[in-house]
Amino acid sequence: MVSHVRLAYGKTRHASATFFIMLLAGVIGIAIQPVAPALANAGAQQLAQQAASAQKIAWIAFDGGGARSGDNTAERHLNRTNVHLLTQLWKVALPAVVDSSIVEQPGVTTPSGVHDLLFVTTTTGSLLALDAHSGALIWRADHPAGSCKINNGSQTCYTTSSPAIDPSGQYVYTYGLDGYLHKHNIATGTEVTGGGWPELITLKPFDEKESSAINIGQGYLYVTTGGYPGDNGDYQGHVVAINLATGAQTIFNTVCTNQAVHFVEKPGTPDCPQVQSAVWGRGGAVIDTVTGDLFIATGNGTFNAAAYDFGDSVMKLDATASGANGLPLDSYTPTNYQQLQNSDTDLGSTAPVLLPQQPTSETPYMALQIGKDGIARLLNRANLSGQGGPGHTGGELQQLDLSKYGEVLPQPAVWTDGHGVVWIFIANANGLTALRLTTDASGHSSLSVVYHNSDAGSSPFVAGNVLYVQGPGTLLALNPKTGATLWSAQTGSQHWQSPLIVNGMVFAVNDSGSMYAFSIPA
């Protein structure tokens, strides 16, 4: 069964019907409802739990998956008028640090009963399933490093990836430190094998790792790779698209793009002479919900389109993570790409930020790319360089210099206010910057700074028209239009961790291996 999505911002293409199911989940879901009182009959109690869970939504990937907006528009319980009432519901110690984000599937029938389940991937390769209302560990699956050492040295391999949940609600996917993506039964944690599973992601897990969050949409899983800190070793950086129905996969390498294969360690074959390009922004591969195409951004690496090398570039691929004629479908590379490479000022320290359609703009479909240099580049994602096709340099619609606020590594969030105005929230170690997108009477669109404050943190999150930022020691809830603090809680040390707000609850993990839940008392 197939449905249609818009292609090339006007034509049509076929896509899996699951793509639309995922998009609609964020629209039709409603907030958490009060759980029915305990019933004497255990069977009736289970039915009541299932009925309550049916009113909740699943949050299947980091920032909602798909376009990675980071805006939970389905949140109806928590808002600006009551967020100050949040109190800590529980705090638990995890078996290892989770340096990423959280996903949730409500109403899972497990051997121990019906649970709203939270899923996290630890740095040591374990997938944990926890009860959202108590923090109890329901099941655990381990995919440890074994003998894997970073760059074949002494430090054990690790991951900062986040899991993803199948749209069916039956499976959860996680990256293992063996270089494979693993598929688990969501109720029991039992690993599913066969039909391509587990799926190979890299033949060089000692040099390449999955840093970004797994994405899921239009019948595919998308997994990206980069290197370890220090920029050492034989890694190229690539995206793997896995067909959920067949298990077949496609590989797109960011250097030697004409080779759709998994490279081996030198001096074996197949391999690429260029190294150390990476897709390691927190968002990884993002999905254009208009066309179904993918967008990725690279940091480091050589740029030489004639030799199929696309370091420090934004690239567009089709839904299968394929380009055309050995090249991406389209690309953007800043004119100072060599300077970025020489100074390790990665363009792709974040994933592309896809902005909602602007009907009155001469470029209605835009994207924002900001990296370590702090330059926010507004792009026309229907023609990235403005010159038609891949391999050109320059052509951005606007460059907004935010370098005085420092380099940007967390993934920005996108929010549309009640007047249809698009806002972008950018957090880093120096604070929070709010941008607003406007279009003038001539159809020219541009970004401007509305405010900057000292609320440092990782990837922001919006839910119920409240902006959440998890920083070093503190989780904040803010008025998105002003940055004013509405609520705060101590959540400990923080690195890449970012919060999840879904079904009337707030969840956070920290860099000390703790997990927190907050809710409004009944």
Task: Report the relative pairing of strands 473-478 and 485-492 from DSSP bridges.
Answer: antiparallel
What is the reported pLDDT for 522?
83
With CA atoms as reference, report the closest residue to 285 among 508, 101, 63, 125: 63
Residue (of 448, 420, 15, 43) closest to 244 by Cα position:
15
Residue 138 neighbours by CB under 8 Å, 6+ apart: 110, 112, 115, 117, 129, 130, 131
Please name which of 403, 400, 402 lies closest in space to residue 378, comparing C-alpha atoms: 400
461-486 pLDDT, tens digit per residue, is 999 999 999 999 999 999 999 999 99
Best CA proximity match to 389, nearest among 330, 308, 323, 314: 330
If you compute the radius of gyration of the chain from its CA atoms, what whole number of angstroms results? Answer: 22
Q: Rounded CA gap, 67 and 285, in Å?
A: 9
Pairing of strands 505-509, 485-492: unpaired
Structure tokens at 348: 């792709």
Among candidates 328, 327, 227, which has minimal Cα distance to 276?
227
Q: What is the CATH number of the domain that holds 373?
A: 2.140.10.10
- Give SS3 for 132: coil
Return the pLDDT at 408: 98
Beta-strand pair 286-287/303-304? unpaired
For residue 21, the tally of other CB atoms under 10 A from its CB is 13
Give 2's contacts (C-beta < 8 A, 6+ positions apart).
Answer: 14, 15, 16, 17
Provide the domain limits for residue 481.
2-519
3-class SS at 150?
A: helix
| Phi and psi angles of residue 146, each rounded to the nearest 5 degrees, phi first | 60, -125
Cα–Cα separations (whole angstroms), residue 387 to 263, 332, 354:
32, 10, 20
| pLDDT at res. 44 | 55
> Which H or E run contains 433?
strand 431-439
User: Do residues 513 and 94 lie in contact, with contact meaning Cβ atoms separated by under 8 Å?
Assistant: yes
Tokens matching residue 276: 């150390």
User: What pLDDT score was predicted for residue 55?
Assistant: 87
Which residues does residue 223 pair with via DSSP β-bridges, in sequence order? Answer: 240
Query: Tokens 């298990």 appear where?
Result: 247
Segment-wise mean pLDDT, segments of 10 residues, the chain, 522 residues: 42 39 36 35 53 80 98 97 98 98 98 98 98 98 98 97 98 98 98 98 97 97 96 95 98 98 96 96 97 97 97 98 98 97 96 98 98 97 98 98 97 98 98 98 98 98 98 97 98 97 98 98 88
- Indicate the SS3 state at residue 427: strand
* pTM of the complete model: 0.91
Q: List Cβ neighbours of 168 (8 Å cut-off, separation of 6 or more).
A: none
Strand-by-strand arrangement of the 366-369 sheet: 353-354, 366-369, 375-380, 398-401
Quick: pLDDT tens for 22-70: 433 433 332 333 333 333 455 555 555 555 556 899 999 999 999 999 9
Count CA atoms within 13 Å of residue 378 on its CB side. Answer: 22
User: In Å, how far from its chain's centre is CA 116?
Assistant: 22
3-state secondary structure of 111: coil
- Find where tokens 């902006």 sit: 467
Structure tokens, 172: 């959860």
Phi, psi (degrees; rounded to nearest 5) at 353: -100, 110
Could you give the C-alpha distances from 311 to 63, 105, 238, 275, 382, in angstroms and in order? Answer: 25, 37, 11, 10, 21
Listed residue (250, 325, 236, 246) closest to 280, CA to CA:
236
Number of folded domains that form the chain: 1
The Cα-based distances of 125 to 95, 136, 145, 239, 399 in angstroms read 11, 19, 7, 20, 39
Asked if the bond preceding 460 is cis, omega within 30° of 0, the reply is no
